[in-house]
Amino acid sequence: MSYNQPVADPLLIACLHCDLLQRLPDLQVGGSARCPRCNKELWRRREDDSLNRTLALTIAAALLYAIANSVPMLGLTIVGRDASTTVIGGAQHLWNNDQKIVGVLVLFTAVIAPALQIGLMLAIVLGAMRPSPPLWVGALLRYHPTTRIWSMIEVMMVGVLVALVKIADYATVIPGLALFVLWVLVFILAGMSASFDPREVWHRIEWADGEHRDAAGDFEGESV
Amino acid sequence: MTAMQQGLQSCESCGLLSRPAPGEEEGRCPRCDEELAFRKHSSYQRTWAYLIAAAVCYIPANVLPVLTTTTAAGADSDTILQGVVLLWSPTGWPLSIIVLVASIMIPSAKIVALAYLLITAQRGSVANNGQRIRMYRMVEFIGRWSMVDVFVDTFTAALIQLQPLMSVEPGPGLIFFAAVVVFTMLAVESFDPRLIWDSASMREADSKEVSYA
């Protein structure tokens, strides 16, 4: 399969939800462009130091993730007996009780996908900050949206809340440190995704066909 | 005017607009190396396949128990709906509603909505395009929340292991329920929203030709 020929105007795009051809307008910081036909947000201009902010949030997310997965999340006491579980412990229990597939799904959505989401983002941002961002940044950036879809920490937290209320009927529930850390992580991950501008990074990286490389990271001045 | 009508392909991964080599239908994105096509490959077939799989799993997911509670008095199995009823109390009702919406209403609404989008797009409908694309976005955004019940059952079972007093184990319905969530998410991924607009775009192009003639 051969490489396609890119269009000459880098601001000319097609909406991914309705295929309408259009030219991206100049945007102020914080401004966003929407498709006139289907109203999909095409691009939102982040703050100028978007990469730095994303890096800070990603490092914070990595630390919180490490803590959240090494300490208990939920415990209970009932008539003098204690029990507690971690996130991984929940998946492990399913695996040990003949629910291997569901166990793997829980492990994937609650542990592996978030790790990939954070890890890939860290590599992408660090790579993109180099004076000439290498080809592998693009390869990782291609897979990043998939990890975001399957990373379901916020969904898990609502599930944990429901489980907590259910269990409170029978026993005294002891919220673990990981429970609080995970709630903070939910917001840090949302901020990480919101501050990251894939369009800016795509503009900076080395091209797969090795030809059309844009030297300038800033695409304000080169419109049309 | 759409990109396809101009013979241009946009990359779903990096957004770059490019033109396939002369005489070729598809190529690779010169920027990110993704395989390009005008529309997602066999989008209708793949979406229908995942959707039918989800609809089939939906029945055992709701009929079979997802949790089995064993106490000294014996074993008691609950389906998803029974779980919702059990959770209903003066303090627990908001959570009961969350589980009802996430586990029963969202999966069934998703299946119906996707079937509607597929049928209207395949029949070349040009009506309610704005509404249909909003429906697609809603289904895309909301789908993951159905996993709530899987996590509820996972952590309830992991914690309540107080043999012989009381223990909770996941039931046979859980895997079907998880399958419904995964299959509907894959169905949304396989559906190409641009198919909603293609008939309208074609008609628009035709009418312009007529008026210019």
Query: Above 80 in pLDDT, residue B207?
Result: no
Say which residues have a Cβ less than 8 Å from residue B207's Cβ, sequence separation at least 6: none
Q: Which residues pair with B168 in a beta bridge?
A: B69
Peptide bond into B164 cis (omega under 30): yes
Residue A162 lies in a domain: yes
A179 and A68 both lie in a single domain: yes
A39 and A144 both lie in a single domain: no
Contact list, A3 vs chain B (CB under 8 Å):
21, 27-30
Contact list, B193 vs chain A (CB under 8 Å):
16-18
pTM for this model (two decimals): 0.90
Identify the domain containing residue A40 by its residue range: 1-45
A32 and A115 both lie in a single domain: no
A113 and A37 both lie in a single domain: no
ipTM of the complex: 0.88
Nearest CA among A23, A17, A24 for reference residue A38: A17
Of the pLDDT bands very low, low, confident and very high (cuts 50, 70, 90), residue A218 is very low
A67 and A116 both lie in a single domain: yes
Residues in chain B: 213
A101 and A176 both lie in a single domain: yes
Q: Helices in A108-212 by DSSP H: which ranges?
A: 113-128, 135-150, 153-168, 177-195, 198-204
Query: Above 50 in pLDDT, residue B142?
Result: yes
pLDDT at B209: 62
Residue A76 lies in a domain: yes
Query: Above 90 in pLDDT, residue A33?
Result: yes
A57 and A165 both lie in a single domain: yes
Chain B contact probe: residue of A164, A166, A203, A213 with most B CBs at under 10 A: A166
Q: How far apart are CA B123 and CA B45, in angstroms?
A: 14
Q: Specify the DSSP element, H or E, that contains A83.
A: strand A81-85
Of residues A83 and A50, more confidently modeled: A50
Other C-beta atoms within 10 Å of B152: how many? 30
Contact between A179 and A111 under an 8 Å Cβ cutoff? The reply is no
pLDDT at A212: 56
A96 and A193 both lie in a single domain: yes
Tens digits of per-residue pLDDT, B77-130? 999 999 899 888 888 888 889 889 988 999 999 999 999 999 999 999 998 999
Chain A contact probe: residue of B154, B160, B161, B201 with most A CBs at under 10 A: B154
Tens digits of per-residue pLDDT, A108-159? 999 999 999 999 999 999 999 998 888 889 999 999 999 999 999 999 999 9
A55 and A127 both lie in a single domain: yes
The domain ranges of chain B are: 1-38, 40-212
Q: How far apart are CA B28 and CA B19, in angstroms?
A: 10
Nearest Cα of chain A lies from the Cα of B85 at a distance, in angstroms, of 12
Contact list, A142 vs chain B (CB under 8 Å):
13-14, 32-34
CATH number at residue A80: 1.20.140
Of the pLDDT bands very low, low, confident and very high (cuts 50, 70, 90), residue A208 is confident
Q: Specify the DSSP element, H or E, that contains B76.
A: strand B74-78
Please tell me the total count of domains within chain A.
2
A4 and A100 both lie in a single domain: no
Nearest Cα of chain A lies from the Cα of B2 at a distance, in angstroms, of 4
A26 and A93 both lie in a single domain: no
> Which of the listed CATH numbers 3.30.420, 1.20.272, 1.10.357, 1.20.140 matches domain B40-212?
1.20.140
